[in-house]
Amino acid sequence: MRHFLALLDAFFLTRPLLLAPVWGFSVFGLFRGLSAGGRAPMNMLWTVRHNGATFGWMAIFSLSVASVYVLNQIADVNVDKFNKGLPLLAKGKLSLAAAWWTAILCLALSILLPFFSHPSISAFSCGAALLGIAYSFRPLRFSGRPCFDFLTNAAGYGLIAFGVGWHLSGAAFSVAGFAASALPYFLLMCAGSISSTFPDYEGDKKCGKITTAVALGVRRAHAVATVSLCSSLAVSVALGDAHSADMRGRRFAVLYFLLYPPRGPRHGSHLQRRRALVHGGRRGSYAGCCHSYGRPGDFDAALF
């Protein structure tokens, strides 16, 4: 039983729920690749050609991101002691050695499994790992540098994970075409990454980890995230991507930012309101709104 619980802890150390956004961005890349050069119906994603095997390769790639999640927790083990929740490493539920082996195993699988049939996915996995190391560890440690923290995350999701889907679509690659298609998703992830640091504001500040939220303050950082989110929407419309799967989800996200901005002088009260909204209650949840909207792509956007 003890070994089973240790394996279970190692599994949750990879933050499996946070792999859903990785799959979502890869699906966005797949859809944009399939529709490159013209509009395409959303149900194109569910054709026989793009069935389980395609989504299986996305899942294998996401193991590299799982490895990065573990590496980030190893690097932040002391910071996480000041944050709320139940960080498995910081609370001593799992040893550092077990965490290192978990990260190595996930990364090795994500590189070796597609190496012969889809070497580009192996390259994307290596890119994700290198970006994660630069994000988590010194001397670069972008997670503790204003602007670099959210730009690194945006590159990982909006370019690398998106690029995996693009590659699996079989679309021809051109720098200009890929960059134009990926830009709205890059901006979308900038907003999400900035907002994700708000709950850890106090712990990061105590430990001297200068994230964008710590450097600017929660209210200003929230404003930057809102501008990035609205820019994502505007760029999508300008590029003719208004029909894609994430657009309806972004409508709900924009409403969330506009209707429930941070109020009050104290960071704690703002964070409590944000947690209350995310976890449900009178206002309902973002994911629930998108899911009830009844559109095929919205739940992927809601998971983000």
> Is 2-303 a CATH 1.20.120 domain?
no
Where do we find the tokens 């910071």? Answer: 79
**Radius of gyration from C-alpha coordinates of the chain:** 19
pLDDT for 240 equals 74
Query: Would you state the pLDDT for residue 40?
Result: 57
Residues of the chain under the 50 pLDDT cut: 48, 245-246, 248, 251-252, 255, 258-304
* pLDDT tens by residue, 218-245: 999 999 999 999 999 888 888 877 555 4
What distance lies between CA 177 and its chain's CA centroid? 23
Q: For residue range 239-287, what is the model confidence (pLDDT) as tens digits?
A: 877 555 445 455 445 545 544 444 444 444 444 444 443 333 333 333 3
pTM of the model: 0.78
Q: In the chain, what are the domain boundaries?
A: 2-303
pLDDT at 286: 36
